[in-house]
Structures are given as structure tokens and as C-alpha cells.
Amino acid sequence: MGLGALYFIFVFAGMGIGLFFGLEKAGFEPLSKINQFLIYFFVGDLVIRYFFQKMPIVNIKPLLLMPFKKSKIVNYALGKTAVSFFNWMYAFFFIPFSIILLVQGYNPLGVITWHLGMLAMIYINNFINVFLNDKTVFVVLLGLVFAVFGGLQYYGYFDLTTFTQPYFQGLYEKPWMLIFPLIVLFGIIKYAFSYFNSRMYLDAGLAKKENIATNENLDWLNRFGKISVFLKNDIKLIKRNKRSKTTVFMSVLFLFYGLLFFGNAIEVYDGPFWRMFAAVFVTGGFLFSFGQFVPSWDSAYYPLMMTQNIKYKEYLQSKWWLVVIATGISTVICLPYLYFGWETYLAILVGAVFNMGVNAHLVLLGGAFIKTPIDLTSGKKAFGDKSSFNIKTLLISLPKMLGPMALYAIGHFTLGPVFGYALVAIAGLIGFAFRDKVFNQIIKIYKSEKYKTIAAYKQNN
Amino acid sequence: MITIDNLSKTYNGVTVLNLEHIEIPKGQSFGLVGNNGAGKTTLFSCLLDLIQPTTGFIQNGEYKVHENESWKSHTASFIDESFLIGYLTPEEYFYFIGDLRGQNKADVDALLASFEDFFNDEIIGKRKYLRDLSKGNQKKVGIVATLIGNPEVIILDEPFANLDPTTQIRLKGIIKKMATDRDVTVLVSSHDLQHVTEVCERIVVLEKGNQIKDIMTSPETLKDLERYFSGAEAQAALEVEE
């Protein structure tokens, strides 16, 4: 459980307390408004679970030979998913929200059946997810379909929620309707149980999926000279491992983060320097999520790297190019933000320069202090471990965000926004000049921490 | 070629390795035997500068391994699966190692061609990632990769374990061939006394981190070692110590 989990607990608790009054103030009947959007919430939940929730099904091989009944093992594995963070984190929203409903004089029986209905829906998702192993295409399609529905609704062509809202509303108005989600939940639990019980064999349910491999030469990378050796490897690393693919997926999500800021969707984010904050974020998604774990990406074969005749500098340069190229690509993908005006895109461009010039080095420097081995074959835990978080990395992280915001604010309040952008851009350009200095520093850390790092990476492998 | 001097490693007050002095001349094929926990892998890890010795040093070539990294350019090793990159195919892995050791594709291909027998058609062109290969086949890849780029020192930890009988015999042939080459120093550890006496000209026996025997292999060596490991001599050695 890391920083990510804390963040979500905080956000959900805040929403649980604030949403009722917010909706009321905006002139809505809070419960029915929320019921309207619950369908999107549950679909989104399923997509997120698919990518991030850890399934213990694969870790039960050693239990097979133990003197337990198979049904007990299945119960244990399924039960373990039930106590996952992805289930109880929503309690931070639903419990305060339900309490507020009660206090506000909603029918207590209705609130209780509604609350239990939500609980059942969350667990239905939990058990659907158990079946969704390696069905990425299906899950992505599902997400896209509902994104299209959302768009249709926003522009007033078709409102899906007129069909779904009555169901969720019904859980409150007609308590007997609780029976529907409960029947589905018990059905799916029973089905999950018998499904896995009959497939408890190494070559059936527990089989490891093997991918057909193709050799890739990636010869076009040779133009990068010496570092192409590592660049080729890094690209294969990203393409062929679950964990790194999850990271790429997350950095795509970062691209949309700007909508919250530039679209004026949230009032607190209206301040001028928040725009800078968003610009750094939307272009730096990959930079932050990949860069912070260099060299941990290579933890599984770190001893190999340490016994080969490897120039640290070439190794680092390869990772640096990766994050810089990814930042460049993000900047291009961000072109639609022009919709919010040229100034918004200017902010993004400047943010990208700062990311490439300053943050790319800082993030690699921070990574040098992280000694958490990465399990490449599992996409889970991408929200971070508690061990991947320490004071040193925090201190290095602060200027990544606050730096450009502060620089922009100085410019903004003295000579105006353009000067603010200029200051951030200049800082980025100056940063390029210090690249080799920072690299030397990182190399020093790698060398002095070598034995500790090897030992730490061995822990989980 | 390699000098081990006053080397010891202590974890939380427990000494797991304690060697006074071992000199391994260039071209020697050197075997390390001992039971589990004897310190074989610890010694190899020190030799590769993967762990820091508590006292003493190891010199490989002209420099001490923990002070200068020049040994990396003439030393190749395969200790365990952490020396393999799971998401690469065997071919990609060989080329990657080749790149690091200054060998182009053609050089690597030529080397691989000479190991066609050894691979037994289970490695090349199988469209599998290393992580999906069996333990034995992973080992074959790791061992052959150490031969890329004509290293002067080759270090193999338990190379015979997990291999099928045919491959064990072929591997013995490969190591013997290297042993006749006076430029290559081979260090091998093994639990299998017969294999190690067959391929190594010198055998050092470790017990609980200490050097118990240091013998030049002769026709009697195998019997000698078997007697020792069956316990009689271990008993005697203990009595002498007391």
C-alpha cells in the first residue's frame, strides 16, 4: 500500500463528505443524481480492477500438495480477493455518504438497502474481475463503449442513464429490489467457486500463459550508436512485460488529467500556476511513472548487468532518451488541448521543455535511491509500494512539481504570463547543460550503493 | 590469473567464508566442491564483486575486483537465472551479450552454430522467451552465453545441475576442451564429484567456508573425495581440529 492508496482514500473520503452538499448546492437531488452516474462508476471500477487488482489465483500452486481439500483452497483464494483494497477503498465514500443521507432525513430502510446494494455491486465487480484474466481487448472495448455513451450523453444525443438510473434509484425506493444484486452476487460467487474448483490443475486453471515470441532486431535504433544496445533492450522490456505495459497505460491516463485543469471543471484549480502544474503532469506521465523506477526495471537481472562490461553512462543515457522521447510524443498527442486556447498549449510546450531539461534528470536521480525489485510479469502494485517511497525521493520529487509552478508564478506576477512561461522554458534549457553532471552524480550513487542494491533486488526474486 | 587473499565473509557474526590464500594460475581448470552452505556461491559472488568481503580481497587480472572494474572485460559468468533476461528470446539474449562484449551478429552466429549439438534443437528458433524455457534449457543458454567474446576467465556455478544426461556429457566435453586451451581459466562448482574430477585439473573442497582440501586431480581423486564426503574423513578432520 503506498502513496497511491492513501491518495484514493483521501479523495473518496472527501467525496463521500462533500458530494452530497455539492450536488444540493448545484440544485440537484443528490441521491438520484448519483444514481444516474453509478453505471459509469461501476464500469470504470471494473476496468481499473482489471489492470491493477492482484489476483491470488496464481499463487496457490504450493497449496495444492498440502493436506487441504481443494474447495478450501478455492475458498481461500476467492476470499482473498474479497478483502482487497479495491473493495474496501469505496467504503470511504459510501459510508460517509450514507450517514449523511440518514442525517438528512432520507428513509433509513431505503438508505440501508441502497448501501447494501452498492456493496453487492462492488463485490459483483470483484468476482467478474476474477474471470477476466488476459481479456484486455474485451475490457478496453467495454471502457471505450461506455466512453462513447458518456460522450453521447454529454452532447445530448442519447442518455444511457435513463435506463440504468431507475435500477439504482429503485434500491432506495423499493427495498425489496435489493434481492436482484444479491441473487446475481450469490450466483457469481457460486459459479466462480465451481469454475475454479474444477480447474485446479497445473495444465488448466493454473497454467501459465506462454506468449509466442518473435525476434526483433530494431535495427533502426542503431543510429543512436553505443546506447542503441540498451535502447533496444528497454523497448523490448516495455513491450513484453505486463508491469511496464501498465505503466504506459497509466501515462496515457495522465494525458487526460489536464481536462480537470484547463476545462475549468474544478474551481480550486483555476489559479494561474495550476496551469503550469497540469502542463508538467500531462506531458510527464511516462517520465514520472517509468523514470522513478530506473534501475529497478532491470532488477530481475541486475547481477548480469553488474558483471558485464557495461558503461553506466550509456545505460543511463538510454533510459534518458526513452523518457525524453515519450515526453515529446505526449506533447504532440496533447495538440487537442489547443481547443482551450493557444496559451494552454504554450503552457504544455513549456512544461514539456521543463520535463525534458530538468525533470528527466531529477527523476533518474530519485530512482537511484529506490531499491524495490520490480516483478515485470505482474501488472499489479503499479500504484507503488511503501518501500518505494522514502524521504530522499520525496525531496527530489518536490522541485519537479513546485519548481515550474514557482517560476511561473514569479513571472506571472511581475511581467505577465509570457514572462512566466519564458522563465520555465529557460530553466528547462539550462537543465540540459547539467545533464552530464547529474549523470555523474547518479553513477556515483549506483556505484556506492551497488552491494545494497543487489541484496535488495534479491529479496523478492 | 586469480588471487584470493585472506578472504572472509561474515553475516551477523556467522562466518560463512574464510580462505587464507588461493592462487589460480592462468589456464587452469579449477573445481570447487562442497556440501550446501560450504560457501561455493559466496566465493563466486565475491569473485564477481556482487557481495563485499568482510576482510581480504580477490584479484582478477591486474587489479582487485572491488577496486577496479577492468576484470569485467575478460570475465564471463553464469551463476543463476538472474544472469538471464527473461523477456528476450535466446537469440536476442546472445546478441545482447555479444553487443556488450564487442561481438557482431556474425561472430555470435558462428559461435552458436558450433553449439548446435549442445542445444539439441530446443533453443534456437523456438519462438519462446527465456522465461518460458525449462530450467535445463535456460541453463544451456546461460552457459553458452559465457563463451561469447573469448573471455579469459569463465565462472560457472553448478553447471551440471538441471541438465539431462546427454547434455551433461556434452557439457563435460565443452569444459574439457576449454581446459586444454591454456589461455582460458575455468572455474566450476559442482555437487557431482564424478563430473568435477573428470573436467578439472585442480579441486578445492570447501566445508563451512573453510578450505579442507586442495588437490591436483589424479586417478585416485574421485575415490578420495567420495571417502571424504561419506563422512569418515570429515570425522577425522574434526578430531584433529579439536
**Extents of the domains making up chain A:** 3-197, 219-460
**pLDDT category of residue B186 using cuts at 50, 70 and 90:** very high
The per-residue pLDDT for A288 is: 86
Q: Read off the DSSP letter of residue A176.
A: G
The per-residue pLDDT for A187 is: 94
Answer whether residue B23 shows pLDDT above 90: yes
Q: Is the dihedral of CA A344, A345, A348, A349 positive or negative?
A: negative
Answer whether residue A376 shows pLDDT above 70: yes
Whether residue B238 lies within 8 A of chain A, CB to CB, comes out as no
Give chain A's end-to-end CA distance (angstroms, integer).
20
**pLDDT category of residue A458 using cuts at 50, 70 and 90:** confident
Arithmetic mean of pLDDT, A214-243 = 85
Whether residue B134 lies within 8 A of chain A, CB to CB, comes out as no
Q: Is the dihedral of CA A40, A44, A45, A50 positive or negative?
A: positive
pTM for the full predicted model: 0.79
Cell of A209: 500463459
Cα separation, A118 vs B52, whole angstroms: 56
The per-residue pLDDT for B237 is: 59
From A310, A376, A455, residue closest to B87, measured CB to CB:
A376
Subunit contact B77:A309, Cβ cutoff 8 A: no
- Candidates A308, A447, A451, A459: best to mutate against B (most CBs of B within 10 A) is A308
Compare A339 and B42 and report the one with higher pLDDT. Answer: B42
E-only strand ranges, A211-365: none
When the pLDDT of each residue in chain B is averaged and rounded to a whole number, the result is: 89
Please name the residue of chain B whose CA is at the shortest distance from the CA of residue A208.
Answer: B132
Compare A390 and A411 and report the one with higher pLDDT. Answer: A411
> How many Å lie between the alpha carbon of A457 and the closest alpha carbon of chain B?
10
When the pLDDT of each residue in chain A is averaged and rounded to a whole number, the result is: 84
Arithmetic mean of pLDDT, A121-149 = 86
- Calculate what percentage of chain A has a pLDDT beyond 90: 25
- Candidates A238, A309, A375: best to mutate against B (most CBs of B within 10 A) is A309
Please name the residue of chain B whose CA is at the shortest distance from the CA of residue A315.
Answer: B100
In order of start, what are the domains of chain B with their CATH numbers? 2-241 (3.40.50.300)
A461 contacts in B (CB within 8 Å)? 82
Cα separation, B126 vs A214, whole angstroms: 9
Arithmetic mean of pLDDT, B60-75 = 90
**pLDDT category of residue A461 using cuts at 50, 70 and 90:** very low
Q: Which of A193-202, B135-144, B176-185, B218-227 has the highest mean pLDDT?
A: B135-144
Q: How many CB pairs under 8 A join A and B?
A: 86
List, in sequence order, every residue forming a beta bridge with B216; answer none if it has no partner. Answer: B202
From A210, A308, A455, residue closest to B132, measured CB to CB:
A210
A334-355 pLDDT, tens digit per residue, is 988 888 888 888 889 999 999 9
Please name the residue of chain A whose CA is at the shortest distance from the CA of residue B48.
Answer: A307
Please say whether the beta carbons of A117 and A90 come within 8 A: no
| Range in A70-74, A186-190, B237-241 the model is least confident about | B237-241
Subunit contact B85:A211, Cβ cutoff 8 A: no
Cell of B98: 555479444
Q: How far is CA A148 from CA A82, A135, A141, A143, in A?
A: 31, 20, 10, 9
Answer whether residue B242 shows pLDDT above 80: no
Q: Which residues of A touch B (CB under 8 A)?
A: 208, 210-216, 229, 232-233, 236-237, 240-241, 300-304, 306-310, 376-377, 450-451, 454-455, 458, 461
The per-residue pLDDT for B16 is: 92
The per-residue pLDDT for A99 is: 92
DSSP A180-206: HHHHHHHHHHHHHHHHHHTT-STTTTT
The per-residue pLDDT for B50 is: 93
From A208, A229, A458, residue closest to B99, measured CB to CB:
A229
Cell of A73: 483452497
What's the half-sphere exposure (Cβ side, CA atoms, 13 Å) at B150?
A: 8
From B52, B83, B86, residue closest to A303, measured CB to CB:
B83
Answer whether residue B62 shows pLDDT above 60: yes
The per-residue pLDDT for A387 is: 47
Query: Residue A266: is it exposed, middle or buried by C-beta count within 10 angstroms (0-12/13-18/19+)?
Result: exposed
A52-65 pLDDT, tens digit per residue, is 777 765 567 777 77
Give chain B's end-to-end CA distance (angstroms, integer).
35
> How many Å lie between the alpha carbon of A376 and the closest alpha carbon of chain B?
9
Please name the residue of chain A whose CA is at the shortest distance from the CA of residue B126.
Answer: A213
Cα separation, A278 vs A240, whole angstroms: 30
Cβ under 8 Å to A: B residues 25-64: 48-52
Compare A381 and A179 and report the one with higher pLDDT. Answer: A179
The per-residue pLDDT for A121 is: 93
ipTM: 0.90
